[in-house]
Amino acid sequence: MKTVGEIGEVKTIERLVSMLGTCSDLRVGAGDDCAVTHIVGTNEDQVFTTDPLIESVHFLPTDDPIRIGNKAAGRVFSDLAAMGANPQWLLVNVVAPASLEVRALEEIYSGITKLCRQFGATLIGGDLAEGVVLELHLFGTGTLPAGSALLRSGAQVGDCIFTTGKLGGSRAGKHLDFVPCVKEGIFLRESGYVHSMVDLSDGLGSDLRHILRASRVGAQLDSLLIPCVDSIEAALFDGEDFELLFTVASSDVEQLHQKWNQQFETPLHQIGTITKAVELLELRGADGLFQSIEGKGFSHFSGS
């Protein structure tokens, strides 16, 4: 019998997803940044997401507890942002060694609640259990108008590909200090211009593939247009930038820029184009030539 480590994260998820249930009120199941259900008797949908944060995987024991709390809540809010949702409720299950100082846990909660206040969400409960290392397992919900969630599956051939900010900054500490793009996600949903969207948690090279796979399209990126904190390699594969990656019809790009610039100080970055070559992701180098990009972003159980 094969182990999780032998078949890897993606194949394990595929096997588990096949066992999930469904119902008439489920609008979006597994396979996107969040699940979406309809709130019966209203014109709203409910958005659900969950995310773990584990010591020595997502943060170091020496990291500032307040920054750890920021990251824990920010990861959940970034998923909600990718759907264009308004954050609502948050639950936290804590697994902690008995040796953990209570003050450190209080500071983690301080980081979580600070981000909740910033985006109008409320931390309403959770649970506590003993374990070998510190783990934070968060569950969050959000709301949006019925049928308006932005999905990975809407990209169209000819769409322009955008990101909301610079990429490849996680190793410099951005993964602990980032502000999730909640306001930006809501704006993009309300604009009506966005065909598909995902948050950048595993690296541009991996997360764009989610859109390509769900939409049955390909993409070409221009290395000279990708806004890098460090190197193009870091932007493609390091992950944990928590910006938004989305696609828009070329005919709507000018209007999108105009409306965006009226709302936000940071610019949008147009980095490529959606093509008809299904799941083929190519990068144009400084020499003008295109090369295929391997999918080697972060993946649990792979040792990456």
Check whether 300 has a pLDDT greater than 70.
no
Check whether 214 has a pLDDT greater than 90.
yes
Query: Cα–Cα–Cα angle for 223, 272, 241, nearest 5°?
Result: 70
Query: Higher confidence at residue 143 or residue 30?
Result: 143
**Residue 32 has what pLDDT?**
77
Given CATH 3.40.50.2300, say whether it is the number of domain 152-292: no
Q: What is the mean pLDDT of residues 73-101?
A: 97
Rounded Cα distance, 33 and 19, in Å: 19
- 97-122 pLDDT, tens digit per residue, is 999 999 999 999 999 999 999 999 99
3-state secondary structure at position 12 = helix
Distances in Å between the Cα of 120 and the Cα atoms of 65, 86, 89, 173 are: 22, 8, 9, 25
Question: What does the longest C-alpha to C-alpha distance in the chain come to?
Answer: 58
**Where do you find CATH 3.90.650.10 in the chain?**
152-292
Average pLDDT, the chain: 93
Band of pLDDT at residue 295, cut at 50, 70 and 90: low
What pTM does this model have? 0.91
Per 3-state DSSP, what percentage of the chain is helix, strand, and coil (rounded to 5)? 35, 30, 35
- Percentage of the chain exceeding pLDDT 70: 96
Pairing of strands 122-130, 86-96: parallel
**Record: fold of 4-145:** 60s Ribosomal Protein L30; Chain: A; (3.30.1330)
Check whether 157 has a pLDDT greater than 80.
yes
Rounded Cα distance, 95 and 217, in Å: 41
- Residue in the block written with tokens 């806004």: 227
Check whether 70 has a pLDDT greater than 80.
yes
> Which of 16-25, 146-155, 164-173: highest mean pLDDT?
146-155
CB-CB neighbours of 102 under 10 Å: 8
**Where do you find CATH 3.30.1330.10 in the chain?**
4-145
* Of 236, 178, 179, 232, nearest in space to 203 by CA: 236
